[in-house]
Homo-oligomer: A and B are copies of this chain.
């Protein structure tokens, strides 16, 4: 197919496709003449993947480029391949400037992982990110948030099991690699959305003084009387 059809099939504007080609996120089409090219289903799929990572996953274009470049070179070290997926989707948090706070929090996280019997590299970006959360929470007077994080950790273990199950199903290197990408990026978005819905549900369960499913008239005093309201 030609670029126009590729555009129609995917809903991506032609100039945008050209931009992705320039950026190397989409492999060039097969040449049919010095200035004509033909595209196939693999381009449709790749383009959908790119849009999913950008729109649904919220990744910046540059991250998508790096991610796909790494995935496209399966001759490379597999650690690097899979590690890159994780690194790409954890934006390194802009150094808080509180180096000692950060270091202390990282120690706390390592202790937490020890308690759980979890093992990972000393400098995994997720560890740094989590420590950053704790530093911020502390600075905001929410030191008790650490207890919630501990509860999260137990829950997260179940997520890890579901995630690895999903990947294990897949046959072939390419399929697995794409499952890691899709599962990680779309999974993040799905989990966050489900968290919101769970909060709404839990809230209406605890504070059923207002019907679920509707917004009612103003009752600003409800908060002080009844605690948190439904989040719907």
Q: Residues of A with Cβ closer than 8 Å to B?
A: 11, 45, 48-49, 51-52, 55-56, 58, 74-79, 82-83, 85-86, 90-91, 93-94, 96-98, 113, 116, 118-122, 124-127, 129-130, 132-133, 136-137, 139-142, 144-145, 148-149, 151-153, 155-169, 173, 176, 178-180, 182-184, 186-204, 206, 212-220, 222-224, 227-232
Contact = CB atoms under 8 A, between A and B. Distances in A.
- Choose among A137, A155, A166, A196 the residue with the greatest number of B CB atoms under 10 Å from its CB: A196
A158 to B, nearest CB: 5
Given A164-B206, A186-B136, A193 B96 contact: no
A140 B191 contact: no
A201 B78 contact: no
Given A186-B136, A206-B164, A156 B198 contact: yes
B56 A133 contact: yes
25 contacts: A48-B139, A51-B136, A52-B137, A52-B140, A77-B215, A78-B219, A119-B232, A121-B200, A121-B214, A125-B196, A126-B193, A126-B194, A126-B195, A129-B189, A130-B189, A130-B194, A132-B189, A136-B186, A149-B194, A152-B191, A160-B200, A163-B199, A163-B202, A180-B228, A192-B192
A161 to B, nearest CB: 6
A136 B48 contact: yes
- Choose among A79, A168, A229 the residue with the greatest number of B CB atoms under 10 Å from its CB: A79
A77 B164 contact: no
5 tightest Cβ-Cβ pairs between the two chains A and B = A160-B198, A126-B196, A156-B194, A119-B212, A160-B202
A128 to B, nearest CB: 9
Contact of A161 (B52, B124, B202): B202
Given A79-B229, A82-B229, A197 B118 contact: yes
A59 to B, nearest CB: 12
A191 B130 CA distance: 9
